């Protein structure tokens, strides 16, 4: 282990130091990845090593090379290869497990629906035929604006079948956000629903979609509307609007020849918060993305066909795409889709579902686990959770305390807990301990996966010493990586890549440290992105909404460790910062971004702390919000404001 840690890659992770926890030997014996040589093999073979991942898929035409890196940073994975994602997620499982459950859905009102792989095949084909009938052709982008209902993954797979990239927009996003994404993706087809239940109430999603249609520049050629609410809400359909159920009924039994896509062809676009206020369209290619997702589902989450697996993330975001849909279905397992909330009808809902379904692998976020912890161990302790073999977490750092609670009360003190670090842009998991091989270190995301050349570097791009903070970067390309941005090559290059002496490096936007064993601890974003309540926002997109409110002059937004959004706001001198301004700010955030963007706390302040060059010191505001010590503020242009803000925070 002499030089391990400096470049972030452990030479032998099985030698990791004392703060590490080994998975039980019973787990190791059955794990998909149990041979520590895999690290060396990847290091020795270079990109060729990723054939292992591509081999997990069915290819219609074998790829010519693993990686074309002749034009960095525009990398092409598995060029020459042709495949179809819906074939890989559905058709190829029919021989061995057509009657096995593919999706088990639990609706908000206690409804249940199950789809075997055969059912899934039939409905995906019928919908694919229906979409074709409505005019959708290969490469047309279809926008999906649906809550957690089976029709969402089915629509994704139907699009993939006919070579139409999907553009899923989280159902909770506002009409304005949907309109922006329809335009940005140049998408003239939409699949949405009449509405869905939020808590007890039927909520009208169609009216949001109608609103977006009025705002968008693109003309929608056809809209498909899922009837989620039945009699609870009647929506009338216009001439170019079609009920999902009648479309599928009309094409029931039709089989659609899957369109063979180039490995480098677009599978989907996903809009995420960028460094500017406008979202950016992250593009994922079919072959590399699916290979990486399948490989990590099998080797990191240890999922296999006879599992019942549950990824609790919403399909509206990347985790739901990769590990709620494409990962589990590509490996042919049974996946749970849950529409409801974790505390309804009671706070043991999640544990009840795990027990009833004998869930063996459960993947969720630290935000959720913190809520479970707050509610109390008596809820999981009421249930038999012995079916759990592995637990996963994603989305933000998990503190050792939360990690241990999760393992103790959900994992029976035995199951490995894999902390997985990745991003919308990486497409699939990039840092994590391979649970059958390496020890886990609570609080640390883990070493880079084999084949992922992650390094923590300083301002000059030099690797930092163990324990020193730096920027997390990735040197060599990896299969799940974004193939580009919808906004074009220049933006893609500028946003993510730096050319260093030893080649191109991808900038993750995260700060990190690395320990002597090469395990990486994530310190949080170093750019203007905040991750709260499992959503990713740019401070700019929230702040520009707030300053759009009449009377507001400036705003700075920070996220707290508990997942709250705190807004610091100044108003014009003639405007009284009262409850009506507060309400207007929350309304504007909900309209411009979505309900989940409402600020939890709004702190009115006469001024915001600024550097001499006038830049708002958001870091200082973060420290104040969290009640942490902060250093000398005398270099600020307006140091006197700090005391005022501190007392305002206490008053709120
Ligand atoms: O800051 C990191 C954090 O989430 C960011 C990516 O957000 P998004 O693209 O929305 O994808 C979230 C789910 C993959 C990262 O830049 N993040 C993600 N996983 C972890 C994490 N921070 C700490 N530990 C993690 N395991």
Q: What is the mean pLDDT of residues 211-219?
A: 97
Global pTM? 0.92
Residue 524 contacts by C-beta under 8 Å, 6 or more apart in sequence?
A: 397, 510, 511
**Stretch (H or E) spanning 309:** strand 308-311
By alpha-carbon position, which residue is closest to atom 7 of ligand 1?
423
Report d(CA 52, CA 4) in Å as an integer: 25
How many angstroms separate the alpha carbon of residue 463 from the centre of ligand 1? 22
pLDDT tops 70 at residue 6 = no
Residue 640 has which token pair? 């006197």
Cis peptide before 64 (omega within 30 of 0): no
Q: What are phi and psi of 407, to 5 degrees?
A: -65, -40
Residue nearest to atom 13 of ligand 1 (CA): 395
Average pLDDT over residues 393-414: 95
Ligand 1 center to residue 522 CA distance, Å? 9
Q: How far apart, in Å, are the Cα atoms of 91 and each of 29, 94, 117, 166, 527?
A: 31, 5, 8, 20, 42
Give residue-wise pLDDT tens across range 42-52: 999 999 999 99
Condensed to tens digits (0 to 9), the pLDDT of residues 368-392 reads: 999 999 999 999 999 999 999 999 9
| Among candidate residues 417, 452, 422, the one with its CA nearest the CA of residue 433 | 417
Report the nearest atom of ligand 1 relative to the CA of 432: 26
Higher-confidence residue: 563 or 245? 245
What is the arithmetic mean of pLDDT over 137-142?
98
Which residue owns the Cα nearest ligand 1 atom 18? 395
Structure tokens at 75: 């990398």
- Determine the distance separating the centroid of ligand 1 and the alpha carbon of 132, expressed in angstroms: 36
Distance between CA 248 and CA 604 in Å, rounded? 53
- Of all residues in the chain, the percent with pLDDT exceeding 70 is 96
Q: Which CATH number fits domain 528-651: 3.30.300.30, 3.40.50.300, 2.60.120.1140, 3.50.50.60?
A: 3.30.300.30
pLDDT at 4: 39
Ligand 1 site, residue 419, Cβ cutoff 6 A: yes
Class of domain 86-259: alpha beta
Task: Note whether 123 and 115 are within 8 A (CB).
Answer: yes
Domain boundaries, the chain: 86-259, 528-651
Does residue 1 surpass a pLDDT of 50? no
Q: What is the distance in A from the centroid of ligand 1 to the CA of 536?
A: 9
H-helix segments, 18-161: 25-30, 37-45, 51-54, 85-89, 94-97, 117-133, 151-161
CA distances from 175 to 341, 398, 510, 648 (A): 23, 33, 30, 34
408/381 Cα distance (integer angstroms)? 10
Please check whether residue 553 is in contact with residue 574, taking contact to mean a CB–CB distance below 8 angstroms. no
**Distance between Cα 111 and ligand 1 center (Å):** 32
Average pLDDT for residues 444-462, to the nearest whole number?
95
Q: Ligand 1: distance of its center to the CA of 394 in Å? A: 7
Mutate which of 395, 427, 513 for ligand 1? The one with the most ligand atoms within 8 Å of its CB, which is 395
Pairwise CA distance, residues 447 & 10, whole Å: 7
Instruction: For ligand 1, say whether the CB of 512 is within 6 Å of any of its atoms.
Output: no
Q: d(Cα 201, Cα 77) in Å, to the nearest integer?
A: 46
pLDDT at 24 over 90: no
Position 233 scores a pLDDT of: 87
The residue-averaged pLDDT of 348-367 equals 97
3-state secondary structure of 95: helix
């Amino acid at each position: 282990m002499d030089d391990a840690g400096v470049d972030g890659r452990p030479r032998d992770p099985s030698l990791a130091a004392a703060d590490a926890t080994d998975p039980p030997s019973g787990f190791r014996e059955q794990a998909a990845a149990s041979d520590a040589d895999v690290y060396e093999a990847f290091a020795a073979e270079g990109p060729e090593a990723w054939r292992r991942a591509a081999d997990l898929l069915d290819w219609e035409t074998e790829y010519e090379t693993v990686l074309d890196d002749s034009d960095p940073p525009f990398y092409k994975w598995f060029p020459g290869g042709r495949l179809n994602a819906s074939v890989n997620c559905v058709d190829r499982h029919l021989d061995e497990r057509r009657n096995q459950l593919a999706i088990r859905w639990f609706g908000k009102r206690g409804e249940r629906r199950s789809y075997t792989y055969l059912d899934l095949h039939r409905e995906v084909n019928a919908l694919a035929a229906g979409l074709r009938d409505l005019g959708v052709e290969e490469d047309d982008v279809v926008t999906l604006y649906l809550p957690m209902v089976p029709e969402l993954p089915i629509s994704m797979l139907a699009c993939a079948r006919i070579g139409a990239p999907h553009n899923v927009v989280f159902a909770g996003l506002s009409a304005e956000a949907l309109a922006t994404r329809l335009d940005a993706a140049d998408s003239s087809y939409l699949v949405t629903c009449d509405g869905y239940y939020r808590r007890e109430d039927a909520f009208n999603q169609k009216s949001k979609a109608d609103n977006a249609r009025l705002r968008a520049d693109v003309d929608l050629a056809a809209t498909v509307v899922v009837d989620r609410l039945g009699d609870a809400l009647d929506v009338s359909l216009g001439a170019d609007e079609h009920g999902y159920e009648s479309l599928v009924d009309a094409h029931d039994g039709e089989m659609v020849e899957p369109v063979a896509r180039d490995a480098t062809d677009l599978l989907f676009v996903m809009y995420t918060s960028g460094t500017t206020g406008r979202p950016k369209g992250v593009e994922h290619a079919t072959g590399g993305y699916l290979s990486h997702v399948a490989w990590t589902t099998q080797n990191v989450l240890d999922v296999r066909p006879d599992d019942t697996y549950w990824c609790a993330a919403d399909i509206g975001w990347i985790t739901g795409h990769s590990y709620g849909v494409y990962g589990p279905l590509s490996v042919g397992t049974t996946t749970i889709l849950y529409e409801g909330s974790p505390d309804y009808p009671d706070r043991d809902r999640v544990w009840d579902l795990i027990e009833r379904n004998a869930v063996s692998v459960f993947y969720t976020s630290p935000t959720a686990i913190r809520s479970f912890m707050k509610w109390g161990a008596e809820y999981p302790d009421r249930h038999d959770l012995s079916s759990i073999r592995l637990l996963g977490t994603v989305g933000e750092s998990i503190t050792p305390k939360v990690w241990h609670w999760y393992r103790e009360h959900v994992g029976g003190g035995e199951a490995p807990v894999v902390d997985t670090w990745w991003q919308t842009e990486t497409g699939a998991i990039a840092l994590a301990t391979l649970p059958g091989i390496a020890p886990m270190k609570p609080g640390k995301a883990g070493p880079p996966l084999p084949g992922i050349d992650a390094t923590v570097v300083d301002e000059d791009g030099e690797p930092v010493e163990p324990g020193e903070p730096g920027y997390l970067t990735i040197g060599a390309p990896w299969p799940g990586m974004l193939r580009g941005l919808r906004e074009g090559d220049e933006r893609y290059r500028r946003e993510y890549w730096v050319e260093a002496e030893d080649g191109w490096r991808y900038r993750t936007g995260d700060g990190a440290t690395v320990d002597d064993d090469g395990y990486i601890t994530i310190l949080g974003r170093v750019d203007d992105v905040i991750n709260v309540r499992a959503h990713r926002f740019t401070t700019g997109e929230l702040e520009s909404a707030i300053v759009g409110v009449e009377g507001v002059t400036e705003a700075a937004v920070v996220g707290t460790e508990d997942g709250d959004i705190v807004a610091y706001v100044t108003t014009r001198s003639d405007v009284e910062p009262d409850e009506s301004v507060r309400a207007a700010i929350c309304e504007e955030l909900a309209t411009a971004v979505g309900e989940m963007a409402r600020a939890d706390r709004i702190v009115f302040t006469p001024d915001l702390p600024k550097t001499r060059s006038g830049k708002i010191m958001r870091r200082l505001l973060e420290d104040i919000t969290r009640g942490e010590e902060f250093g000398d503020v005398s270099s600020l242009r307006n140091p006197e404001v700090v005391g005022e803000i501190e007392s305002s925070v206490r008053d709120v």
